[in-house]
A = this chain, B = another copy of it.
Amino acid sequence: MEEKENFMREAIKISIDSMRAGNGGPFGAVIVKDGKIIARGFNKVTSSNDPTAHAEVVAIREACNVLGSFQLTGCEIYTSCEPCPMCLGAIYWARPDKMYFANTKTDAAAIGFDDQFIYEEIALPISGRHLCTEQLLNQEALEAFKEWEKKTNKIEY
């Protein structure tokens, strides 16, 4: 119990330090394997001109780099705030064993972040979303998928 809280306190400390340093929003994350922190991430959207540079994405990319793997098997992610859909999707793709969070998406919405809005949008059918969306050339694109299916020397993920 104590250990889990210490890892989360590190994520919270990162969220505060990086906000004060002007890197971006008040968000931090750490990734733990075998009882040790192997990667840290903080939000640097505005300082790096990268809308994908949320704390969790930054930490996942760093942890995968450290491990030389595109999977976080055996790892746990501690994030100072419940992930937005982008980060939650990234976590599903990275497949850590467990996620810990502190603040909620409702807490994030209350200080002006779009997490809740994006959750609502993603759950809607395409035609009901605010994001203007149009489908084109499905048949032509399917050729790539058919080729992938038949490909023998592929790495699945």
List chain A positions with a Cβ less than 8 A from chain B: 4-5, 8-9, 12, 15-16, 19-20, 22, 24-26, 45-46, 48-52, 57, 60-61, 64-65, 67-72, 78, 80-82, 84-95, 97-104, 107-108, 110-112, 114, 117-119, 121-123, 126, 131-138, 140-145, 147-149, 151, 153, 155-157
A117 → chain B, closest Cβ, in Å? 8
Q: Chain B contacts of A94 at CB under 8 A? A: 51-52
A64 → chain B, closest Cβ, in Å? 5
Given A60-B52, A89-B86, A100-B135, A26 and B122 touching (CB < 8 A)?
no
A51 near B26: Cβ-Cβ < 8 Å: no
